[in-house]
Amino acid sequence: MPDKDMALLQLKELVEEVTNCTKCPLAQSRTHVVFGEGNLHARLMFVGEGPGKDEDLQGRPFVGRAGQLLDAMLEAIDIKRAEVYITNIVKCRPPNNRVPAPAEARACLPYLRNQVAIVKPKIIVCLGATAAKYIIDPNFKITQQRGQWIERKGYYIIATFHPAAILRDPSKKKPAWEDFILIKEKYLAEG
Ligand code: URA
């Protein structure tokens, strides 16, 4: 079977599994599971924290205000949203947008690992401290350690501010923009 069809099949099976997931209490309060979306063979993957209200209602990642900012930042570096893959640490909305509890994140992380194994991106961007903590280092300090490449298991990984954090604190816009320039450079270099 061609690689492309194989990835589609594997991802479909995973969607089915995640859609029926009841491994943590977030399953009880969700409207939709937000699995993630994008190019099955994306070279660039973005990982956020977890769905918010709009994402929970629509079943799609980053479609609310933070998503609109992410779209604008992608457009500014001339990368189409459809080229990349976008997902989250947890696939169900934490009530009132609280940070996912460690047990919730741990229950959900195998799904992210499978997504990464199927899509095989070259670059993984952690959007915010939660993604960086679970993907890079549990003690990750987003303000100090963002914008630095890490190479692990053949993936280039970087963290930047979460778009929602930039909306709350516009002083984060400039450093986030600098990170997006780095991401674009790596994306071109790894083409
Ligand atoms: N914030 C996230 O971390 N993920 C989304 O999908 C939307 C908002």
Taking only the tens place, the pLDDT of each residue in 103-152 is 999 999 999 999 999 999 999 999 999 999 999 999 999 999 999 999 99
User: Average of pLDDT values for 97-108?
Assistant: 98
Ligand 1 pocket check: which of 62, 68, 71, 127 to mutate, most ligand atoms within 8 Å of Cβ?
62
pTM for this prediction: 0.97
Local structure of 44: helix, strand or coil = strand
Q: State whether the beta carbon of 88 lies less than 6 angstroms from ligand 1.
A: yes
Q: What is the DSSP letter of 168?
A: H
Query: In this structure, are residues 40 and 7 in contact, taking their beta carbons and an 8 Å threshold?
Result: yes
Q: State whether the beta carbon of 66 lies less than 6 angstroms from ligand 1.
A: yes
Residue with tokens 């450093």: 175
Pick from 91, 78, 21, 63: nearest CA to 163? 63
